[in-house]
Amino acid sequence: MTAPEPFGARLRRAMDGRGPLCVGIDPHPELLAAWQLTDDADGLARFADTVVAALADRVAVLKPQSAFFERHGSRGVAVLERVVADARSAGALVLVDAKRGDIGSTVAAYAGAYFGPAAPLRCDAVTLSPYLGYESLRPALDAARADGAGAFVLARTSNPEGAETQTAVTASGLPLAQRVLRQLAEENAGAVPLGSFGAVVGATLGDAALELSVNGPLLAPGLGAQGATAADLPRVFGDAVGQVLPSVSRGLLRRGPGVDALRAAAAEEIEALAGVLR
């Protein structure tokens, strides 16, 4: 049986071919209202379906935020299942932004939702939280690798509150964020052209004084509504800027609900990013 192509290789090809952009699918109540949609599962479905129709055939990654689907109960989760499948079928890589993190059997259960042929939310990658210890994520990391999928592990996030834990010094003498980055580098050792296990590092951080060479992708939230711009990325990421996958959500989605307007907004983002990330 042939092993699946690793997520890192597929992501590198998508970023090179379509441009380095991840677009969040964040059906926030204020966006539903701005699109004149109802704040229920029907409005959610119309919103998400529009984003998929507009962008799944032209951006590298779509990133549905699980919480905005879960808040609508079982009908919302059903929409998420369909959106993940439809976006992948249309050619986008799908990163489910769920930030899962727990221990042992619980992490294995989460992994069963996202990875493997029988997974109801089978996706290309998921976000994970390492704050019960990096190795607590092992069942999810192993399941992702076996499925040719990947993960993005929280390291130094864009929210100001994150510094409270992420800059704390561990027993190894390293800040927690740097320790996570080193563990990801070990996870990706020897991978070509790009490892499948990335870090989440906010684009709003300025000089975070971190060693970012993880041989894997760096998901960079914070563009648009949170204030970061494409011009900030070389300063934040330095020599690792070629591995950055910038993420934009509300700043782009506010250009909807027209499909043409969303496509134009994505094209503008890709053009702005291409010059600084090349």
pLDDT tens column, 236-254: 999 999 999 999 999 999 9
Q: How many residues does the chain have?
A: 278
Among 12, 58, 99, 100, the active-site one is 99
What average pLDDT score do residues 177-192 get?
97
Q: Give the DSSP H or E segment for 100.
A: strand 93-100
Listed in sequence order, the DSSP H helices in the chain are: 7-18, 29-34, 41-55, 66-70, 73-89, 104-114, 138-146, 163-166, 176-187, 233-237, 250-253, 259-277
Question: What's the pLDDT tens digit per position in 91-122?
Answer: 999 999 999 999 989 999 999 999 999 999 99
Contacts of 2 (CB under 8 A, 6+ apart): none
Instruction: Give pLDDT, residue 46.
Output: 98
What average pLDDT score do residues 37-56 get?
98
Residue 63 annotated in active site: no
Would the pTM of this model clear 0.95, i.e. be above it? yes
Instruction: Give pLDDT, residue 207.
Output: 61
Residue 208 has pLDDT above 70, yes or no: no
Residue 239, number of CB atoms within 10 A of its CB: 10
Looking at every residue in the chain, the average pLDDT score rounds to: 95
Instruction: Give pLDDT, residue 199.
Output: 98
Instruction: Give pLDDT, residue 223.
Output: 80
What average pLDDT score do residues 42-48 get?
98
Q: Could you give all domains of the chain from N- to C-terminal order, each with its CATH number?
A: 7-271 (3.20.20.70)
Which of 80, 244, 99, 107 lies closest to 159, judged by CA?
Answer: 99
Residue 221 has pLDDT above 90, yes or no: yes
Whole-number Å distance between alpha carbons of 119 and 123: 9
